[in-house]
Structure 1
Amino acid sequence: MAMTVWVDGWQMQCCGRLFAVGDVVSWTLLEADPEDYAELVGSEEGGVDFREEHHGGEGRTPTSVEVLSITEVHCRYGPRPGTVDNANRALPGTRVLVPVRQAERWVEARPGVEFAGYLVTVRRVADGGGPPG
């Protein structure tokens, strides 16, 4: 069964390991709230099931997964129209999805948007590890 995993761009830049379609990787996966990623990935993409975590996943058993597809997610950030807070968030309607064969630590800039992270479709490899089922 396929799962969708979010990999933050900042985590890749900090200490991420390169991965490509077809690779089997061992990741610490934490359940994700799909609403937290709705502006980044959109509802038509099916949402995010898990997020890959390099920092704060201590004590969790890594899960072995095979990478089926990788999509770069780019968007523009700023305060949302009609809100009183000045927090920078993904702005609706600015998302750019770019299918790739390999994830990189540093992604080439795209005009008018910033790299946010990777949307990765994976399937669990039967090794007995990790939380997803």
Structure 2
Amino acid sequence: MRWNVWVDDWQMQCCGEPFQVGSAVSWTLIPADRDWLTRVLGEQTAATIEWSEEHHGDPSPDRLRVQAQVTRIAAVHARMEPLPGENAYHPVDGVLSPQTAADGQDPDAGDRKFVGYVVTLAVDR
């Protein structure tokens, strides 16, 4: 089966290992934050993402450890907007750019900041 997985830029930069199309990976997954993904990628694309890759946090019954093969990678670049009433920003209007490898160090693209990857995994279950 194939699963689309969100990989945060900061997770890759902190603790992730580079991967490429065809790589075998062993990842810990948690349920994707659909509300956040919808703001970044839109409802249609967010609806295809079931999981997020996770390196941090306490063990929980929601976590799933998988062995899989990477079949597709898309870098996501998004505009940053201020959060109302806060001194923080969040990504919106993300654009996906297919690529063959990921190391978490993708450069920003004009006024769009690199925020992560959508990765398709072929998972044996």
TM range (shorter): 0.7 to 0.9
| 1:69 maps to which of 53, 68, 72 | 72
Partner residue, 2:118 = 119
* SS of residue paired to 1:108: coil
Could you tell me which amino acid in structure 2 is paired with residue 111 of structure 1? G
TM-score (norm 1): 0.80
RMSD: 2.0
Inter-CA distance 79–47: structure 2 relative to 1 (3 Å threshold) = farther
Q: Gaps (5+ residues) in structure 1?
A: 127-133
Give the CA deviation at 1:57.
Answer: 5.2
Note the alpha carbon deviations across 1:90-133, whole angstroms, 9 max, x for none.
Answer: 23xx322110011113112211111100001112124xxxxxxx
If you compute each CA radius of gyration, which structure gives the higher value, 1 or 2?
1
The answer as to 2:102 corresponding to 1:99 is no
Query: Structure 1 pair 36/90, CA: closer, same or farther in 2 (3 Å)?
Result: same
Q: Is contact 2:6–2:116 with CA below 8 Å preserved after alignment?
A: yes
Name the CA distance, whole Å, in 1 between partners of 2:64 and 2:40: 27
Task: Work out the CA distance in 2 between the residues paired with 1:26 and 1:57.
Answer: 18
1:50 aligns with 2:51: yes
Distance 1:2 1:61, change over 3 A: closer
Partner of 2:89: 88
Paired residues of 2:26 and 2:68 also in contact (CA < 8 A): yes
TM-score by length of 2: 0.84
